[in-house]
Amino acid sequence: MSKGIALSVTASTLFAVMYYYTSLLTPLSGVEIYGWRMLLTVPCMTVFMLLSGEWRRVLELLRRIPALPKLIGGLILSSALLGVQLWLFMWAPLNGYSLDVSLGYFLLPLAMVLTGRIAYGESLSYLQKIAVFFASLGVLNELYQVGGFSWATLVVVVGYPLYFVLRKYLKTDNLGGLWVDMTLMLPVAYWFVRGGEQGFGVFDQYPALAWLIPLLGLISASALVVYIIASRLLPFSLFGLLSYVEPVLLLGVALLLGESIKPGEWLTYIPIWLAVVVLVFEGFKHLMRQRRP
């Protein structure tokens, strides 16, 4: 378990490093960085799946397509939903939206709780109701202050639950489904890089990127692999608790990049942070019950 905890925190740290890393890849745009990330990550992920025996998941999924042609449309939609999230993750730090995206990741666990209630009829526990109440206070303050959340925040809060619901419906909620989603992004990623202002000749114009861009792929692939290994070593509840480390680190990166929380926004962030604390407390109680003999 201690190894799993260390790996989970390492994965969250690597994702946060990648969030900041985009600021070092001048003059690449957010879409170019996203393109390079996909082009470099998918091959590394393929090697990992071949070595770990997970490649059978891909084969199982591909065998289902001839018998269910509609699955193709679902896979394209699933890939698009994930692609938007991965693009936003690379684009936001370069365009002043890193704080908005980090807020989206803070709200995401609550959005998932409500999605389970709406989509699958899952009941809310007493502590989850308290968490929803605190989060609602933050939402109401944001509506009062600026009339609504940033589009970047909404993309995370709405997009990820839709993606997870779709994967569950398609029965592709495994590593094979994730690989197919990312592989379907490759033509778009190639087009983003080729059609970008720098193109594939970027290394001739900016020699430093010859090692910075491959390092981006290494960080991305390492974060994904470490995340997957951690998910296998840890109980689900503890793994879920540790997922809250990432938005905290993303917030730190946003502040490091020069963004700041305005005075009126504290009444948005504090209730949402309290909601997250309540969910963490509930998860910790559940974990302790599981460990009792």
Strands (E), 127-284: none
pLDDT of residue 292: 66
Find the distance separating the first CA and the last CA of the chain, reported in whole Å.
17
The sign of the torsion formed by the CA atoms of 135, 173, 188, 14 equals positive
Integer-rounded Cα Rg, in Å, for the chain is 20
**pLDDT (0 to 100) of residue 174:** 85
Q: What is the domain count for the chain?
A: 1
Q: CB neighbours (10 Å) of residue 246?
A: 24
Give the residue from 73, 100, 74 showing the smallest Cα distance to 19: 100
Handedness of CA 247, 253, 258, 263 (dihedral sign): positive
Range of the domain at 283: 1-291
Q: Tell me the longest C-alpha to C-alpha distance in the chain.
A: 63
Tokens read off for 133? 């109440």
Q: Is the pTM here over 0.95, yes or no? A: no
Ramachandran region, residue 147 (left: φ > 0; alpha: ψ -120 to 50; beta: rest): left
User: What is the rounded CA–CA span in Å between residue 127 and residue 275?
Assistant: 9
Per-residue confidence (pLDDT) for residue 120, from 0 to 100 = 82
11: left (phi over 0), alpha (psi -120 to 50) or beta: alpha
What is the chain's pLDDT, residue by residue, as a tens digit (293 residues)? 678 878 888 988 999 999 999 889 988 999 999 999 999 999 988 998 899 888 999 999 999 988 888 899 999 999 999 999 999 999 999 999 999 998 888 888 788 888 888 888 878 788 888 888 888 888 888 887 767 789 999 999 999 999 989 998 999 988 899 999 999 999 999 999 998 887 888 888 888 898 999 999 889 888 888 888 887 787 656 666 677 788 889 989 999 989 988 888 898 889 989 988 888 888 777 777 766 66
